[in-house]
Structure formats: structure tokens, C-alpha cells
Amino acid sequence: MQQFAEVIVDVPTQQTDQPYTYEIPPDLVGQIQPGMRVIVPFGTRRVLGFLVRVIEHKPDVSFEIKPIEEVLDLAPVLSDELLQLSDWLAKWTFSFKISCLQAMLPAAMRASYGKKIRLTTTEVSADVKLLFGEKQELPFDTKNLSARAFRTLSKLNRENKAEIVYEVRDRAQSKSITMITGLLTPAQITQEKAKTRINALRLQQLLDFLLDLGSARLSQKDAEVQTGLAASVFTQGQKKGWLKKSQVEEYRDPYSTAEISKTEPQKLKPAQTKAVAEIETEIKKQSEQVFLLQGVTGSGKTEVYLYAIACALAQKKTALMLVPEISLTPQMVHRVRGRFGSNVAVLHSGLSEGEKYDEWRRIERKEATVVVGARSAVFAPLDNIGVIIMDEEHETSYKQESMPEYHARDVAIKRGQWHHCPVVLGSATPSLESRARAQKGVYRWLRLDERINGQPLPAVKLVNMQDELKRAPAVDISGPLLEAIKERIARNEQVVLMLNRRGYSSFIMCRECGFVLKCPNCDISLTMHMDSHSMKCHYCGHEEPIPNICPSCHSKKIRYYGTGTEKVQQELEKLLPDVSILRMDVDTTKRKGAHSRLLQKFGAKEANILLGTQMIAKGLDFPDVTLVGVLNADTALSLPNFRSAERTFQLLTQVSGRAGRADKTGEVLIQTFNPEHYAIQLAKNQNYEQFFGMEMNMRHRGGYPPYFFTIQIVINGTNEAEVAKKIFEVNGQLTQILSQQAVVLGPTPKPIMRVNNRFYYQLVIKYKNEPKLDQFLKELLQNSQQDMRRNLQLTIDRDPVDFI
DNA sequence: CAACTCAGGTCA
DNA sequence: GACCTGAGTTGG
């Protein structure tokens, strides 16, 4: 029987964002299923596609239906659940279906495309022969070929002397190793030894080795090391029929399994016991209840998670645990692996493409039943999920900033509904959205108010920089902070200093004329990098040397301004010459594993001070840290962002939790220019509940989330006038369809208006209930295709993290 | 997105 | 006639 298939092709554009129909070749009928990846002809090209539906009858269409060319998977790589989820995701985030499907799989399972040109005749001119050499085929792409060669080859193609071959390759490659098995009995080996010339030393050695090996199997690599024999000797042995080589698939294990030491469940405090009991009941009831587990730092949230996971496993189910990338530290991974051993798969950005793929497959083959991972792990191919946990649920890194712009929390809850399992959102400082839902009873509210070790939270002191600045020993370090640091160092304790870097950078300014060095492509000032001795643009990557004289007035008084970790490090080194400082920021942690190496060093007390940006605020736990200093608490406060108070509060609360976790009491010093600001005052008192009340008030008055939903529309293009015209046009259409209750902010140019020579304009819709809005936005996006020709791009972001 | 088609140009 | 360029169209 003839079968057809609907395929979503790997061409992320508006007009190809629909299933295309292909014929299933007769020999594949019955085997091919939705969720498999296929290669299909698309125009003159061949592209990867996802099979989403099988249809039994030939659709009544006027165009030709082409057959599927190749099937890449033996079994579906996306389950029914994930296929449906991708549909929802595309609608919810206004993204292309293909982008959603790809987002669910490790990058290794995307296709890589290549073009080759193949000669079809031998009668070619001398220069063509030179180009091809001995080969029949050449890679054919504009990047690697000279203009001249490109021209000759194009001509060849036109004359039908060569054809262009389109290649689609699956990037996924499992790693395999060669195993050696002996084929001879000991008696046969003795015979062979006698037959082999005595001075054929290597072969004699190989036979001796095979005798030792017996019936065991060993990797060729290990065998080579043990015997000191070259690979060729083993190949000879294979030819003589002495041994068998076999390819065995090997998982790249990023954490060596040997190191896991089993850890036992801890005894729970009453509040924890209560939380665990409530979650367990819902797991057993298979309910879709969402919990908000609100617990101060050190109250043992992680232990509650581990109990919940254990419960799910006991029900013969699986568990998914999401953590922000930054707190996916070795400490954290150890803890989960220590409890559940090799059942745990870990997915995070530190893994190579291949490692991620291997972990993904372990999950898919049900070899791992517990998944711990960052944002994208929410799509882990787990079956039969018993509980989903999301730690630090307020973290903004759960929202993806590129297509599809999803929030992992929304996806987690959606998956919870499919699997009929509870979702646990945990945080010391919940997002206002979640906390408000807990208030209304949409989520069930669980609280852990006490710290496990019964220790009081560290004392938090504010340093008013307005007063201190005049007499401060350095621009960024006040007298009280310097004294406090000296005190700890004298006691051989450790200090963590955090520089809030958001919206802050060290730029160059001329003190004579006020000239600021800016990026030629983007609208922002260049940031100085001491390690590479250059000025870099953080948006487009433009790089140029640090100027000595002002390009504008030729004065020599051009200096850097602003605060960067490097500058603070230099200041500290001047003030405290004998103290060792570890710096942790984007520059020092760029390389793979650098992050955890730095932390290890600090843990081993190789340095007294750890100086870093936001990334040190989370997840680390060092017993000897008794002082935490925040150098600039309020840089984020001044940003035109309705979440800036929430962010500042969360960050300060979190970093405060880093001080004095063991037997030593900790102290926190916050340097601020706004000591009276409520976010800072309440962070000082670690009073989340009061902050929640105040901030909800502010949001209510301003008409911001969680009282209103928000959608951001951004238009960018190379011609500023056209961009502005388009956004005002959209604004006009919006006023037609929106009710009185909705508010549109803007249109305005984005604060950073020009990036890579493109202009950005935006508007934000705040609304409560707009039944026509989704349909309007969908059509807007579809019609935006016409504008592509005018080089205009339109993006829609639901629930944007901020409006800047 | 990439490739094709078509219209309108240039150049020897 | 051969080739280039840009705008517009199309993919099953």
C-alpha cells in the first residue's frame, strides 16, 4: 500500500513553516514512523526534515510529490509527546516549527550541509584538470574557492560537464573503540608459536599476549599500551586468524563513574519532612500539582528534591531536575550522582557536542532515569516522568533569548500535564510570578524557613558609598570593606568579592574633550580588555587597539572609566600586595572546565580572595568564606527595567548566603550609592516576604507582570526610517484590535539602537485578556515575510525578561 | 535559506 | 553571445 508523509523541513523561514508531503518509498512502508529524521529533496537541494505524520491516502494536489530519499533513524528520535510539545511551543513562542524540533535534540543531531561538484566527463581543459588533480569531486563553496576557480567550475556546470551534488550529513557520530578477542585455544597458540619464525619477535610477543588474555576481551588501545606493540601487529594477527577485532560503541563519560562515592539520604528537619510528604502524595496520586518550594539559603531544598526523585524512582518512574547552568557545578552534580549513581544523566553546556549526544542517548535508551541539566534539558527524552524539579526557578537563564524564545518553566509545567506528574519550583527568592501564583493557590506553597544547621543568616552591613567615596582607599573599595578584608586574611579565612557587572563596562574616555571610543558598527562604547590589550565590542565582536591619544582632539589624556574585574584586581593588588586573588569573569572562564578549575583552586585555599561577577553568587559553598563583599550593589537598579529591583534583591540575597555556611559566622558588606532603596534595605534584612509585598505594589501601580502579560515586538533593519515606519504601522494596527484595558509602550528605539549596522525599534504590549491578540500576531508574523525583501526583520517575544 | 528565473544591463 | 546584477519567486 502506498503511504505518504508530512515532513517539516530544515528551512527556518515563515513560508516554509508548514508540513510538506512526500511519498514513502515502498520498501520503507510500515517501518517509517513520526518522529524520525529524514532527508528529502527540496527544490534542487536536499535537506533534513522531521517526519511528523504518516498519511494513508494520496493527497489531492496539483504538484508533483517527491519521495523521501533517506531515513536517518531506525527509531523515532522524538516521541509523540515531544512532537505535540513542539507544536505547542511553536505557537506559544511564535517560532518556526523546525526551530522548536531542533531545540529538543542535541546539536549533534542537526544536519551539516555540503556541496560538491563532480565531473561527468573526462574531456576537460588543462586548467580544470589542474583544479581537480586526481579527484573526480571537489568541495564546492564560495568561501574556499577563489573567484576565478568558482567561475570555471560554474561554467563547467552550465556546460553539463559537471554536476553539483548536495550532501546532507548527520553530525551525530557515536564514538566506537576496537576490541580485541583471542580466537585460539592455548594449545593452538603453542602450535602457532612453533610455526612462527623465532626472530619474528613482534608476532611471538603477540602470541604470548594472546595466551595471557585467554578468553577475555580488551580494547586494542589498552592492548597496545600493555604490550608496547604497534597497531599493525594486531592487524597482522587478525589476518592470520589469531584474533578478532570488533567495534564496540563507547559512551564518552564526562564524569568518570569510578569517582562516585555513594551518599546516604540525610535526616530531614520537620519542615523538610512535611514538604517531602506533600510532594510524595502528589507523585503517587499522579497529579499535575505545581509546588513552589520557598526556602532560605541553607534550608535544605536540595535534600527535598533528592527525596522527591527517590520517590518517583520507587514508583518505577523517571525524574527530571533543572538547575541554572551556573549552579550546575561539580558539587551539585556529585550530590545527585552520589545518591542515584549511574542512573543519572547530566546535560550542560560544558559538555562537548559528542558528550551531549551520548548523554542524550543514554536517556533515550532508558539507561538513565534521572536527568539533571540546564534549560534545554527540559526536553530530555524521558518517558514516564514521575516528578519535575526546577531549582532556582527565578533565574532568568531559564528563558532562552533566541528562537524559540521559551521559558523552561512553561515547558516543564506543560510536560508535567502530559505525564500527570507534579512540578516542584524551588527558590529562596521566587520570581514574583510564581510567588503570586502560590498566593492565589494556583501553585501549592511549601516553605522551609529554617536553616538546617540552625545558624542565623549572616549579618549584612551597608556601606554608603556617597559618604565613603571621598576618603575611600580606591575607587571601588571603601575603607570599611578594606578593613574587613584585612581582618579575614589575618585569620586565614577567605573572602568573596562580587562585582555586579550588568550594564557596566570599562570604556575609554578622553578627559580633555569627553570623546568616547565607540564601535563603528554598533551604538555602544567599546570595552577595554587588558588580557588581549584591545578594545572589544561585546555585541558584534569588533576589536581594535587601545588608543594612546584621543582620535578626536589628539590629547594624551585618554583614560579608562568604569569598573571591571581586572581593574578591581589591580586596585586590590596595590592595596594588599601579599594577598593572592582569583579572578572569575567571562574572560577567565571562557575555556572549557575553567570555571570548575578556578573554584577548585579557591576551595583548596590557593587564594584568599575570589573576585568575580554574578557567576560567583550561586551554588558555591566554601566553609572558610566568612566575608562576602558586594562592590557595587546598585548598578542594576538604575537600568530602565521593571525587574531591576527584583534582580538586585535576588542577587544580594543570594550572594549573602555564601558567607559563613559552616561553624564560622559570616558577614556581608554591601557597597551602595542607594542605601535607602527598598530592594537594598530588604536584602539587608533578608526579608523576602516584605519585598514581595512592596514589589507587587510597584508592579500593580505600573501595570507590569504578574498583573499584566507582556509581549515585546522588535523590528530591525538597515534603514532606520523604514524600521521606524514599520513599527508605527504595527502600532496603528494594534490600537485597532486591542481593548481599552491593554497598554502599548512605545514604539521606541531600543536603548542600544544599532547593532551590527542594524537599527532596532520596539514596542511592548501589556494586557490582561486579549482574545484577538494571538491571531493578530500570527498574521503579523506571516505578513512580515513581505518586509524581508526590504530587509526588515520582525520578532515577537512573549513574556520578555526585560524590555531593554 | 538557497537556488532558480527573469529582466535589464555591460562589454568586447 | 557571454556574463553579471538585482528583484522576485519557490520549494511537496
Q: What is the pLDDT of residues A289-327, one digit of tens each?
A: 999 999 988 889 999 999 999 999 999 999 999 999 866
Q: Is the dihedral of CA A678, A684, A688, A690 positive or negative?
A: negative
| Measured CA A502 to C1' B2 distance, in angstroms | 39
Q: Which of A345, A384, A385 shows the shortest CA–CA distance to A368?
A: A345
Q: How far apart are CA A83 and CA A290, in angstroms?
A: 23
Q: Which of A774, A653, A666 shows the shortest CA–CA distance to A711?
A: A774
**What are the CB-based long-range contacts (under 8 Å, 24+) for A743-749?**
A743/A703, A743/A708, A743/A767, A745/A803, A749/A724
| Measured CA A65 to C1' B7 distance, in angstroms | 31
Quick check: helix, strand or coil at residue A529? strand
Query: How many beta carbons lie within 10 A of that of residue A785, not counting itself?
Result: 13
Query: How many beta carbons lie within 10 A of that of residue A315, not counting itself?
Result: 17
Q: Is the CB of residue A335 less than 8 Å from the CB of residue A300?
A: no
Residue nearest to nucleotide B3 (CA to C1'): A44
Alpha carbon separation from A323 to A317, A585, A628 (Å, rounded) = 20, 20, 23
Q: Which nucleotide has its C1' atom closest to residue A43's CA?
A: C11
Q: Which nucleotide has its C1' atom closest to residue A157's CA?
A: B3
Q: Which nucleotide has its C1' atom closest to residue A22's CA?
A: C12
Give every CB contact of residue A415 below 8 A, 6+ residues apart in sequence. A81, A85, A320, A378, A385, A388
| Measured CA A47 to C1' B11 distance, in angstroms | 39
Residue nearest to nucleotide C7 (CA to C1'): A789
In this structure, the dihedral spanned by the alpha carbons of residues A757, A404, A378 and A284, taken in order and rounded to 10 degrees, is 150
pTM of the prediction? 0.84
Query: How many beta carbons lie within 10 A of that of residue A14, not counting itself?
Result: 15
Q: Which nucleotide has its C1' atom closest to residue A61's CA?
A: C12
Q: How many residues does chain A have?
A: 804
| Measured CA A246 to C1' B8 distance, in angstroms | 64
Q: Give residue A94's pLDDT.
A: 95
**Cell 494556583, residue?**
A442
Residue nearest to nucleotide C11 (CA to C1'): A43
Q: Give residue A503's pLDDT.
A: 39
Q: Which nucleotide has its C1' atom closest to residue A151's CA?
A: C3
Q: Is the CB of residue A15 less than 8 Å from the CB of residue A785?
A: yes
Q: Give residue A618's pLDDT.
A: 67
| Bridge partners for A118 per DSSP | A137, A163
> Which nucleotides of chain C are near protein (any atom < 7 Å from a CB)?
3-4, 7-12
Q: Are strands A243-250 and A111-119 parallel, antiparallel or unpaired?
A: unpaired
Q: Is the CB of residue A465 less than 8 Å from the CB of residue A478?
A: yes
| Measured CA A121 to C1' B12 distance, in angstroms | 30
How many alpha carbons fall within 13 Å on the CB side of residue A138?
22
| Bridge partners for A180 per DSSP | A218, A245
| Measured CA A129 to C1' C5 distance, in angstroms | 30
Give every CB contact of residue A395 below 8 A, 6+ residues apart in sequence. A324
Q: Which nucleotide has its C1' atom closest to residue A16's CA?
A: C11
| Residues tagged in the binding site annotation of A | 510, 513, 519, 522, 537, 540, 550, 553
**Cell 549511574, residue?**
A342
Q: Which nucleotide has its C1' atom closest to residue A64's CA?
A: C12
Q: Which nucleotide has its C1' atom closest to residue A11's CA?
A: B1
Q: Grid coordinates in use for A744?
A: 502599548
| Measured CA A5 to C1' B1 distance, in angstroms | 23
> Which nucleotides of chain B are near protein (any atom < 7 Å from a CB)?
1-4
Q: How far apart are CA A68 and CA A78, in angstroms?
A: 18
| Residues tagged in the binding site annotation of A for Zn(2+) | 510, 513, 519, 522, 537, 540, 550, 553
All domains of chain A in start order, with CATH: 4-109 (3.40.1440.60), 114-167 (no CATH), 176-249 (no CATH), 270-448 (3.40.50.300), 459-503+564-699 (3.40.50.300), 506-561 (no CATH), 709-798 (3.30.70.600)
| Measured CA A159 to C1' B5 distance, in angstroms | 18
Q: Which nucleotide has its C1' atom closest to residue A13's CA?
A: B1
Supply the Cα-derived Rg of chain A in whole angstroms.
31
Query: How many beta carbons lie within 10 A of that of residue A267, not counting itself?
Result: 9
Give every CB contact of residue A153 below 8 A, 6+ residues apart in sequence. A117, A131, A138, A140, A145, A162
How many alpha carbons fall within 13 Å on the CB side of residue A269?
17
Q: Which nucleotide has its C1' atom closest to residue A63's CA?
A: C12
| Measured CA A343 to C1' B2 distance, in angstroms | 44
pLDDT less than 50: residues of chain A? 502-504
Q: Give residue A255's pLDDT.
A: 56
Q: Is the CB of residue A673 less than 8 Å from the CB of residue A465?
A: yes
Buried b (16+ CB within 10 A) or exposed e, A567-579: bbbebbeeebeee
Alpha carbon separation from A527 to A59, A396, A470, A501, A567 (Å, rounded) = 58, 24, 27, 12, 12
| Measured CA A92 to C1' C3 distance, in angstroms | 48
| Bridge partners for A545 per DSSP | A534
Q: Give residue A504's pLDDT.
A: 44
Instruction: Give residue A339's identity as a one-letter amino acid code.
Output: R
| Measured CA A173 to C1' C4 distance, in angstroms | 42
| Measured CA A148 to C1' C2 distance, in angstroms | 16
Q: Grid coordinates in use for A661?
A: 555556611
| Measured CA A758 to C1' B3 distance, in angstroms | 26
| Measured CA A150 to C1' C3 distance, in angstroms | 14
Q: Which nucleotide has its C1' atom closest to residue A12's CA?
A: B1
Q: How far apart are CA A691 and CA A702, in angstroms?
A: 16
* Residues touching nucleic chain B (CB < 7 Å): A 11-13, 15-16, 43-45, 115, 166, 788
Q: Give residue A730's pLDDT.
A: 92
Q: Which of A628, A617, A634, A629 shows the shortest CA–CA distance to A680?
A: A634
Q: Which nucleotide has its C1' atom closest to residue A14's CA?
A: B1
Q: What is the DSSP letter of A585?
A: S
* Residues touching nucleic chain C (CB < 7 Å): A 11, 13, 15-16, 18-22, 40-43, 45, 61, 63-66, 151, 154-155, 158, 789
Q: Identify whether A34 is preceded by a cis peptide bond (ω within 30 of 0).
A: no
| Measured CA A564 to C1' C8 distance, in angstroms | 50
Q: Grid coordinates in use for A119?
A: 565531473
Q: Grid coordinates in use for A362?
A: 543514554
Q: Identify whether A139 is preceded by a cis peptide bond (ω within 30 of 0).
A: no
Instruction: Give residue A424's identity as a one-letter amino acid code.
Output: V
Q: CA-based diameter of chain A, in Å?
A: 98
